[in-house]
Amino acid sequence: MTKMYFDQWDSGGKTICASIHPTTQAGRPWVVIAHGFTADRIGKDYLLAKLSKYFAHKAIASLRFDFAGCGESEGEFHEMNMTSMRDNLLSAINYVRKRFVPSKLILLGHSLGGSVCALLATRAGADGVVLLAPVARPFELFNRLKKDVVQQGKNSSGFYEYGPHQMREDFLSDAAHYDPLRDMTQFHGRLLVIHGDSDQSAPIHESETCVHHAETAGIDCRYYRIKNADHNFSTVSQTRIVFEHIGDWIEELCA
């Protein structure tokens, strides 16, 4: 197992920061990991960092990055929208394809990151997509969010506040242009969807909607419901189950 290292590149005039977990074994898959809304490449309770370490022990290479405006990447949170997230993920995919020779390319997205992976699955020519507690329809999510955020009014800087984050209202109008479910209908790879049945941030019907649309489109789809799990699969046993499901699925994909 080779050591993890850091790298960065430009996407839309912003520096994107990433953690790279390569493997010394040739002909192995690469997983590009996209985090969720208000998160970063480490993940809540180190979920995504632990996932990359798990992959490394199985000789599966991975790249985790911070969307512009999040984590260590350049930019402000209020500058982020679905368009910038899409472009940032595409730049990460291009980084992996140019720097390495993945036997298979897999996109893995948590929460809103899952929406962005679904948007690019076909365009990126991904062999597989993993959606962890995904958001099926981002516009509907942000429309609900708008009711809570906008009614509080703008702060002295002219932004809406969402916890410690400042937002612009055009995040919602930008999200209205995207439909991940529609974009996945032409996907010819395999799909894995995992969701906790006690998720309060992105209710499980989001995944059920994804699975329904995938099966209708004839996509090879596997779906796991994790009992009593929240949005971040917050217990040791839940995390272990999720990681094992993903690892086994990737090995099947590469067989």
Query: Quick check: is 108 in a domain?
Result: yes
When divided into structural domains, the chain yields a total of: 1
Task: Please determine, for residue 148, whether its predicted confidence score (pLDDT) is greater than 80.
Answer: no
CA distance 223 to 221: 7
Task: Please determine, for residue 2, whether its predicted confidence score (pLDDT) is greater than 80.
Answer: no
Give the pLDDT band (50/70/90) at residue 191.
Answer: very high
Query: Quick check: is 42 in a domain?
Result: yes
> So what's the pLDDT on residue 166?
83
List of residues 6+ apart from 104 with CB closer than 8 A: 29, 30, 127, 128, 250, 253, 254
Query: Quick check: is 166 in a domain?
Result: no
Measured between alpha carbons, how far is residue 213 from residues 112, 113, 182 in Å?
A: 18, 18, 8
Q: Find residue 196's DSSP bridge partners.
A: 226
Give this prediction's pTM. 0.95
What percent of the chain stands above pLDDT 90?
A: 80
Query: Quick check: is 142 in a domain?
Result: no
- In this prediction, residues 129-143 reach a mean pLDDT of 90
- In this prediction, residues 44-71 reach a mean pLDDT of 97
- In this prediction, residues 61-74 reach a mean pLDDT of 98
CA distance 114 to 117: 5
In the predicted model, what is the mean pLDDT of the chain?
93
Between residues 155 and 251, the one the model is more confident about: 251
> So what's the pLDDT on residue 33?
98
Query: Quick check: is 215 in a domain?
Result: yes
What tens digit of pLDDT does each residue of 72-84 get? 999 999 999 999 9
Query: Quick check: is 163 in a domain?
Result: no
Task: Please determine, for residue 149, whether its predicted confidence score (pLDDT) is greater than 80.
Answer: no
Measured between alpha carbons, how far is residue 251 from residues 1, 55, 104, 211 in Å?
A: 17, 11, 11, 21
Structural domain range at position 89: 5-137+179-254
* Number of Cβ within a 10 Å radius of residue 17: 20
Between residues 151 and 54, the one the model is more confident about: 54
Compute the CA torsion angle 249, 111, 66, 70 (nearest 10 deg). Answer: -170
CATH of residue 52 = 3.40.50.1820
